């Protein structure tokens, strides 16, 4: 394998018009994405050499930019090309591919965000699992956070993917303190929202339910909704009270980073019989099968090692 390909084998980033090894990727310390979390981002997955629902991720990214009034300098096709190139250069066939658009770096003393020039960063690294595959087979353990509430939508719009993770990280530590792995955060009204990077589904009295308000509308969540609709599984998208989780016969979490993740125990007690249930198992299989469906996925055209070009330096 060529030297150029080797330097990207752990991951590849696009920073200020240059493709660099992931270990060398840096951003300016004054970038408001870092300093103020003034940005939006998205994460797509490459599985077995194919992007899954990349157009849907890009549409959500650009819609998020519009909602927070960032005007990107790149078209959808240009962003797709940058993301694809990070994967091509890395050679990763199972990858976690993130793209970030920030409001930019202010000039000296400049505080008017209308005057800043947006910046774009992207990278591909080996696929990331919120719940490892071996734990998914038996189901993971989660808790409902008791001391942490999700940031209200009136403060931070959860439909715009963001780095406002203070409440989510606090929930994670609450889970660790209770000998669990993940935390589901309620809102101030006792409704289920989401957790650190995942949406929530619960099978309650034969109806598959998932929250609608106060959450990111995940692409994996959308896929599961479509699977349920196509499989005639009774489905309700709307308010889900925390108390409903304790009546659920099955619970699972969804994320680009891990797919459909069964929950075996909630607050230390078994969900159903304490194993992934039949509805969850069927949806999980359908979800991964769709990754090879050409209607949902697109192949990455990897370069042969001997044809791999040097890093590009084009703004």
In this structure, is residue 163 part of a structural domain? yes
Same domain, 97 and 141: no
Residue 6: the pLDDT is: 79
Q: Is residue 23, in this structure, part of any structural domain at all?
A: yes
Predicted pLDDT of residue 5: 54
What's the pLDDT score for residue 172? 98
CA–CA dist 255, 261 (Å, integer): 8
pLDDT digits (tens, 9 = 90+) for 248-283: 999 999 999 999 999 999 999 999 999 999 999 999
Range of the domain at 267: 133-292
**pLDDT at position 264:** 98
Q: What is the pLDDT of residue 306?
A: 44
Do 11 and 90 meet the contact criterion of CB atoms below 8 Å apart?
A: yes
Are residues 162 and 183 located together in one domain of the fold? Answer: yes
Q: 54 lies in a domain?
A: yes
Query: For the domain that residue 265 is a member of, what is the CATH number?
Result: 3.20.10.10
Predicted TM-score (pTM) of this structure: 0.93
Tokens of 314: 């084009």
Query: 26 and 150 share a domain?
Result: no
Q: What confidence score (pLDDT) does residue 303 get?
A: 75
140/183 Cα distance (integer angstroms): 11
pLDDT at position 4, please? 52
Q: How many CA atoms lie within 13 A of 173 on its CB side?
A: 7
Distance separating alpha carbons of residues 17 and 22, to the nearest angstrom: 14
Domain check: are 119 and 215 in the same one? no
Q: Is residue 104 part of a domain?
A: yes
Classify residue 202: in a domain, yes or no. Answer: yes
Q: What angle do CA 122, 75, 291 make, to 5 degrees?
A: 60
Q: Which of 93, 128, 163 is the last residue of a domain?
A: 128
Domain boundary among 103, 128, 153: 128
314 domain-assigned: no
Please indicate, yes or no, whether residues 72 and 123 belong to a single structural domain of this protein: yes
**For residues 161 and 41, is the Cβ–Cβ distance under 8 A?**
yes
How far is residue 174 from each of residues 67, 111, 253, 262, measured CA to CA in Å? 32, 36, 18, 20
Q: 177: how many CB neighbours lie within 10 A of its CB?
A: 11
**What CATH number is attached to the domain comprising 27?**
3.30.470.10
Average pLDDT, the chain: 94
Does residue 96 share a domain with residue 21?
yes
DSSP 8-state code for residue 292: G
The rounded average pLDDT for each run of 10 residues, N- to C-terminus, in the chain (315 residues) is: 70 96 97 97 98 98 98 98 98 98 96 97 98 96 98 97 97 97 97 98 98 97 98 97 98 98 98 97 98 96 59 38
Q: What are phi and psi of 292, to 5 degrees?
A: -105, 0
């Amino acid at each position: 394998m060529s030297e150029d390909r080797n330097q990207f084998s752990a991951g590849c980033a696009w920073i200020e018009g240059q493709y660099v090894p992931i270990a060398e990727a840096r951003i300016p310390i004054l970038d408001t994405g870092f300093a103020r979390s003034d940005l939006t981002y998205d994460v797509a997955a490459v599985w077995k050499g194919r992007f899954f629902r990349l157009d849907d991720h890009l549409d959500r990214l650009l819609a998020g930019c519009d909602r927070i009034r960032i005007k990107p300098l790149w078209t959808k096709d240009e962003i797709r090309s940058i993301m694809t190139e990070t994967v091509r250069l890395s050679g990763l066939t199972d990858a976690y591919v993130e793209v970030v658009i920030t409001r930019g770096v202010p000039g000296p003393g400049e505080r008017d965000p209308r005057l800043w020039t947006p910046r774009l960063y992207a990278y591909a690294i080996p696929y990331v699992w919120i719940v490892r595959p071996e734990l998914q087979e038996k189901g993971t353990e989660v808790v409902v956070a008791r001391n942490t509430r999700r940031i209200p939508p009136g403060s931070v719009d959860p439909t715009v993917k963001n780095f406002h993770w203070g409440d989510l990280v606090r929930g994670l530590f609450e889970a660790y303190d209770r000998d669990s792995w993940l935390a589901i955060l309620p809102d101030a009204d006792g409704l289920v929202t989401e957790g650190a990077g995942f949406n929530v589904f619960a099978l309650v009295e034969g109806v598959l339910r998932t929250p609608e308000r106060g959450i990111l509308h995940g692409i994996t969540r959308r896929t599961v909704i479509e699977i349920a609709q196509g499989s005639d599984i009774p489905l309700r998208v709307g308010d889900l009270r925390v108390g409903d989780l304790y009546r659920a016969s099955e619970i699972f979490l969804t994320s680009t980073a891990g797919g459909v993740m069964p929950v075996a125990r909630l607050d230390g007690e078994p969900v159903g019989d304490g194993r992934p249930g039949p509805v969850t198992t069927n949806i999980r299989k359908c979800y991964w099968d769709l990754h090879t469906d050409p209607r949902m996925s697109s192949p990455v055209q990897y370069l042969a090692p001997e044809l791999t070009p040097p890093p590009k330096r084009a703004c």
